[in-house]
Amino acid sequence: MSGDPVIRVSHLVKRYGHADAPNVVDDVSFTVDQGRTLALVGESGAGKSTIGAILTGLQTATSGTVQVCGEDRSRPARSTRSRRHRGSQLQLVAQDPFTSLNPRQKIGDAIAEAVALHCRLSPSQRRERVRELLDAVGLTPHHATVTPRALSGGQRQRVAIARALAAQPEVVVLDEAVSALDVSVQAQVLNLLNDLQAQTRTAYVFITHDLAVVRQIAHDVVVLRHGRIVEQGEANAILNQPQQPYTQLLLASTPRPGWTPPPR
Ligand SMILES: Nc1ncnc2c1ncn2[C@@H]1O[C@H](COP(=O)(O)OP(=O)(O)OP(=O)(O)O)[C@@H](O)[C@H]1O
């Protein structure tokens, strides 16, 4: 894998519905290397989630190609085996883990289920792996015994991350994964993601409308508007010296480090 991007998206186009419908993703190309975080940013309707849905196989591209770990993902998986194989390479963490967590299932069982799907382990090895995953995301064995309702939003998002990591994927796509959290909890989850990445070299595709979040997590940025790339490059360059008026406008509406709230 060394040196090869884990994600390669080339000339991606997506239209919903008839052939004359507008392209909601229009000729988008980017790569993501192992151990790096690419942020897809842009205002509502820019096409960010559609790109995430194509990467995760929930949507099919109209044209263009998507490769994950060198394998073509442009067509949907045909078999359960192929879906599982793809899941072992790429996992999704969505904005609201309530949609992916069964409200009646204990957290330990939810994580054990994800472990069992991707690794052949004995029951005792599986319990050990669940403990390791809970520990990796800053939760305790006690949390394994409760249902999602007993957890805070930040803790639920940690569970969603643990479930994604159970597959030991090369890539995690995070679609507005911290948007619903308070800023301080957001910072904790972003720190956790950074720490996990340093250990595992997992690549992240981070979908967000929030440039303050981009500042904390991204190595590279793709700025989208109406489905097209406005600007792309290293996060430092884009955030500190944006070249395009649209990026400048996005940045101007985002608090910067050192920003203090106006007096009340
Ligand atoms: N299933 C669908 N059918 C038809 N149109 C869709 C569908 N999903 C998204 N769209 C349209 O595609 C465009 C891009 O939507 P998308 O959700 O990808 O944007 P986004 O940048 O993620 O926005 P947001 O931040 O609001 O989620 C929008 O105009 C949206 O209405």
Residue 262's pLDDT band (boundaries 50, 70, 90)? very low
- Pick the most confident of 6-10, 56-60, 89-93: 6-10
* pLDDT tens sequence across 17-76: 888 899 999 999 999 999 999 999 998 899 999 999 999 988 999 999 999 999 998 888
- The residue contributing the CA closest to ligand 1 atom 30 is 45
Structure tokens belonging to residue 150: 């007993």
Residue 255 burial (CB count, 10 A): 12
What is residue 264's predicted lDDT score, i.e. its pLDDT? 46
- State the distance from the centre of ligand 1 to the C-alpha of 133, rounded, in angstroms: 33
Q: Higher pLDDT residue, 129 or 95?
A: 129
Does ligand 1 lie within 6 Å of residue 15's CB atom? no
Q: Place 190 in a pLDDT band, splitting at 50, 70 and 90.
A: very high
184-189: Cβ within 8 A, 24+ apart: 185/152, 185/153, 185/154, 186/213, 187/216, 188/138, 188/154, 189/154, 189/157, 189/158, 189/161
Domain boundaries, the chain: 7-252
Q: What is the pLDDT of residues 135-158, one digit of tens each?
A: 989 899 999 999 999 998 889 999
ipTM, two decimals: 0.95
Q: What is the CATH number of domain 7-252?
A: 3.40.50.300
* C-alpha of residue 225 to centroid of ligand 1, in Å: 12
* Nearest atom of ligand 1 to the alpha carbon of 227: 14
190 alpha carbon – ligand 1 mean position (Å): 25
Q: Using 50, 70 and 90 to split pLDDT, how confident is the model at 256?
A: low
Q: Average pLDDT over the chain, rounded to whole?
A: 89
Q: Is 186 in the pocket of ligand 1 (CB under 6 A)?
A: no
Query: Does the beta carbon of 44 lie inside 6 Å of ligand 1?
Result: yes
55 C-alpha vs ligand 1 centroid, how far in Å? 15
pLDDT score recorded for residue 153: 87
pLDDT in tens, 179-189: 888 888 889 88
Q: What average pLDDT does the segment 204-220 reach?
A: 93
Torsion angle of C-alpha atoms 109, 94, 165, 104, degrees rounded to 10: 0
Long-range contacts of 77-81 (CB under 8 A, 24+ apart): none
Answer for the pair 155, 192: CB distance below 8 angstroms, yes or no: no
Task: Write down the pLDDT at residue 259.
Answer: 47
State the pTM of this model.
0.91
Question: For residue 202, is pLDDT > 80?
Answer: yes
